[in-house]
Amino acid sequence: MNASATLFRCVLDVKASLGECPLWSVAEQALYWVDINAPSLNRFDPATGRNTAMPMPESIGCFAFRRGGGFVVALRDGMWLARPDGTLETKIAAAPYDPAHHRYNDGRCDPRGRFFAGSMNEARDAASAALMRLDADFTLTRVFGDLTISNGLAFSPDGRTMYHADTPTRSVNAYDFDVVTGTPSNRRPFAQWSGETDRPDGGAVDSEGCYWSAFYRGAKVVRISPAGRTLAEYPVPAMCPTMCAFGGPDLTTLYVTTARQMREPDELARLPQSGGLFAMAVTVPGLPEPLFAG
């Protein structure tokens, strides 16, 4: 099960506070990602090794590429449209929570281009967060609630299964997904862990339908079969990997963002590239990321 011989390498030693939401642009052959705390939207060009940071006015939880160019971004105060250079254009949906203690976290588009984004309770003292859906006409709909830290959102290759994690529960659930309406149903357990550091954060699905999960505080990424069986574990030289994305010309490079916020000095001395962007070659390619239809 272990794959310790296969290691992630640091391709951008950026020391991000809370790197998250890596998305590969097929059109640009570049990886975009966010630092929630900086806060910024970033563009990493693997051909040159250059990273360009586009500052945001407040915490940015996640984003998606738009079909017409630019981005939709989930900021603390709500959803915005942004230009290709990251400049905010229009606020399209207010935050459905009190931004004093909640913010957007993990999210991505479904196969039809609807943008899903979940929130998190920063105090972690109540299941008061929710998963939201932004349709192409900018209607914002609550999908389900009773969450603490919404995470791990991903879809099967045929779009008929949705995966989602609430990190403190140490579990990932699967749902039947209606691609026409954008509605999940029939919630069921997909994978469950019990270890203190088994905290599933962001996820991604490869072309074989296997689910990849980054374990925050677990220093690893795991690959799980469609049946929910752990197939392999890959160590990451950072204690807090946050989310995976497939990139490269043939989508066989697995990128993972990491965090260094609130880590002890001795840990950072041992794992100095914490907060960096890591990459690893894989044999099974990923899938192109859907674009926001709005």
| Both tokens assigned to 157 | 């290759």
Quick check: is 201 catalytic?
A: yes
The helix/strand/coil state of 269 is helix
The DSSP call for residue 204 is E
Tell which residue, 187, 148, 143, 155, has the closest CA to residue 170: 148
Choose, from 201, 206, 250, 266, the residue flagged as catalytic.
201
The Cα 9–Cα 273 span in angstroms is 10
The Cα 73–Cα 76 span in angstroms is 10
Tell which residue, 210, 129, 123, has the closest CA to residue 165: 129
- Residue 222: what are its φ and ψ, rounded to 5°? -115, 145
Which residues are tagged catalytic?
A: 201
